[in-house]
C-alpha cells in the first residue's frame, strides 16, 4: 500500500490509544501512526512499550527500504507515536483499541481500569481473535460504543480487518469504526459474534490438524510445512504459521472454539498443549515447532 492511498481519506478521529505493545499491538499502532493518527501505545511496563516502539521503528524503516513509504513519512509517523505511561493519558483519545493477550480475565481487568479515564463519547475496540464481543462489551461502561476490530499478523502487510458487532453495538459506532479501518488502508470482512469469528474459525482448526498430523507421525515438521506450502500454495506452512502467531494464542483460540461450540472436532491437540506447558510458544520464545536460537 502506498502512502498516497492514505491521503485521500478523511479522518474522523485524531487520537488513537493502543493497549498492548506486542506483535499485534505494535502493528496496529504502526498503521494508525502511518495513516496520520496521533497514537499512544500502552503496556504494563516501560520496557515493553520501548520494545514495541523499537519494533515499529524497524518495520517502518523496512518499508522505507522497499520504497513503500518515504523517509519523511516514516519520520512523521514516528513523531505521532508516544509511549502512554498510564491509562490516564487516554482521556483525550477518540478510540482505544485493546490488543492485550488472548485472555478474557485480563481483558476485563484492562477495561475496568481504562473506562473511568475515557471521554464519554470515546469508542472502544478489541482486537480479540476469538472471545465473545458481547460478553467483553458487557464488562465495560459502553457496550453500545464497543466492537471487535480483528487485525491480521503482520498488521502492516495484511489487508484484512474483521469487524464484529456485539449485540449492543450501535450503528454510529459501527459506521465510524468501519470508516476508521478504511482510513488505515484496510479491507473489511464483517463477521457475526461467534467463537473465533471467520478467519480463526477456519485457520486454527487447520493449524490444530497440522499439529495432530505431527503428533500421529504422519509427517515431520518440515514435511507438513512443505506439503502445505507447495501442495496448497500457502505462503507459510501451518506449523511455521503457528510459531509466527504464538502457540499460546493458538491454544487459547482452540479452547474458545472447543468451549464455545461444544464440539470435539475442536479439541486442542495434546502436543500443542504440551508445547505451551513447556513454554515453547514459537518465535517469541525462540522455540516452538522450529528452533530459532
Q: Which residues are catalytic?
A: 129, 150, 162, 200
In 3D space, the residue among 249, 230, 228 whose CA is nearest the CA of residue 239 turns out to be 228
Among positions 245, 247, 256, 272, the unique one binding ligand CAA when judged by CB under 6 A = 245
Please check if 186 is assigned to a binding site: no
**Sign of dihedral through CA atoms 80, 122, 12, 97?**
positive
Please check if 288 is assigned to a binding site: no
Using the contact rule CB under 6 A, the part of the chain among 39-47, 85-93, 105-113, 235-243 near ligand CAA is 235-243
Using the contact rule CB under 6 A, the part of the chain among 10-18, 34-42, 140-148, 156-164 near ligand CAA is 156-164
In 3D space, the residue among 58, 55, 12 whose CA is nearest the CA of residue 37 turns out to be 12
Give, as one character, the DSSP assignment of residue 282: B
Residue entry with cell 490516564: 88
Please check if 149 is assigned to a binding site: no
Among positions 143, 148, 156, 166, the unique one binding ligand CAA when judged by CB under 6 A = 156
DSSP H helical ranges for 66-141:
71-79, 104-114, 133-138
**Site membership for ligand CAA, residue 153 (CB under 6 A):** yes
End-to-end CA distance of the chain: give it in Å, rounded. 33
Written as nine digits, the cell of 181 is: 479501518
Stretch 183-212 residues interacting with ligand CAA (CB under 6 A): 199-200, 203
Written as nine digits, the cell of 19 is: 493497549
Among positions 5, 12, 62, 279, the unique one binding ligand CAA when judged by CB under 6 A = 62
Task: Count how many Cα atoms sit within 13 Å of the Cα of residue 192 in the half-sphere of its side chain.
Answer: 1
Q: How far is the CB of 220 from ligand CAA (least distance, A)?
A: 20
Written as nine digits, the cell of 111 is: 477495561
User: What CA–CA distance (Å, rounded) separates 174 from 177?
Assistant: 5
Using the contact rule CB under 6 A, the part of the chain among 93-101, 141-149, 171-179, 233-241 near ligand CAA is 233-241
Q: How far is the CB of 245 from ligand CAA (least distance, A)?
A: 4
Among positions 9, 83, 104, 154, the unique one binding ligand CAA when judged by CB under 6 A = 154
Q: What are phi and psi of 185, to 5 degrees?
A: 80, 15
**Which residues in this chain contact ligand CAA in the complex, by CB under 6 A?**
59, 62-63, 66, 68, 129, 152-154, 156-158, 199-200, 203, 235-236, 241, 245, 249
The binding site for NAD(+) comprises 20-25, 43, 102, 107, 129, 153, 284
Amino acid at each position: 500500500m502506498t502512502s498516497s492511498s492514505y491521503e485521500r481519506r478523511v479522518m474522523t478521529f485524531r487520537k488513537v490509544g493502543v493497549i498492548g505493545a506486542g506483535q499485534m499491538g505494535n502493528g496496529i499502532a504502526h498503521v494508525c501512526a502511518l495513516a496520520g493518527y496521533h497514537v499512544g501505545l500502552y503496556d504494563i511496563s516501560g520496557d515493553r512499550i520501548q520494545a514495541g516502539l523499537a519494533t515499529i521503528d524497524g518495520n517502518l524503516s523496512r518499508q522505507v527500504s522497499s520504497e513503500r513509504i518515504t523517509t519523511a513519512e516514516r519520520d512523521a509517523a514516528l513523531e505521532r507515536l508516544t509511549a502512554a505511561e498510564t491509562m490516564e493519558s487516554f482521556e483525550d483519545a477518540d478510540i482505544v483499541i485493546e490488543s492485550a493477550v488472548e485472555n478474557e480475565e485480563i481483558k476485563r481487568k484492562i477495561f475496568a481500569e481504562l473506562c473511568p479515564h475515557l471521554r464519554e463519547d470515546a469508542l472502544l475496540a478489541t482486537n480479540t481473535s476469538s472471545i465473545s464481543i458481547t460478553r467483553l462489551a458487557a464488562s465495560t461502561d459502553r457496550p453500545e460504543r464497543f466492537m471487535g476490530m480483528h487485525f491480521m499478523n503482520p498488521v502492516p502487510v495484511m489487508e484484512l480487518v474483521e469487524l464484529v458487532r456485539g449485540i449492543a453495538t450501535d450503528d454510529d459506532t459501527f459506521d465510524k469504526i468501519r470508516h476508521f479501518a478504511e482510513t488505515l488502508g484496510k479491507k473489511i470482512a464483517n463477521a457475526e459474534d461467534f467463537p473465533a469469528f471467520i478467519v480463526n474459525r477456519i485457520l486454527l482448526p487447520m493449524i490444530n490438524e497440522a499439529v495432530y498430523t505431527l503428533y500421529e507421525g504422519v509427517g515431520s515438521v518440515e514435511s507438513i510445512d512443505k506439503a502445505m506450502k507447495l501442495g496448497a500454495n500457502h505462503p507459510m506452512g501451518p506449523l511455521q504459521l503457528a510459531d509466527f502467531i504464538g502457540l499460546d494464542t493458538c491454544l487459547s483460540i482452540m479452547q474458545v472454539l472447543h468451549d464455545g461450540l461444544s464440539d470435539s472436532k475442536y479439541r486442542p491437540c495434546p502436543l500443542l498443549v504440551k508445547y505451551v506447558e513447556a513454554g515453547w510458544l514459537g518465535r517469541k520464545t525462540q522455540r516452538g515447532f522450529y528452533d530459532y536460537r
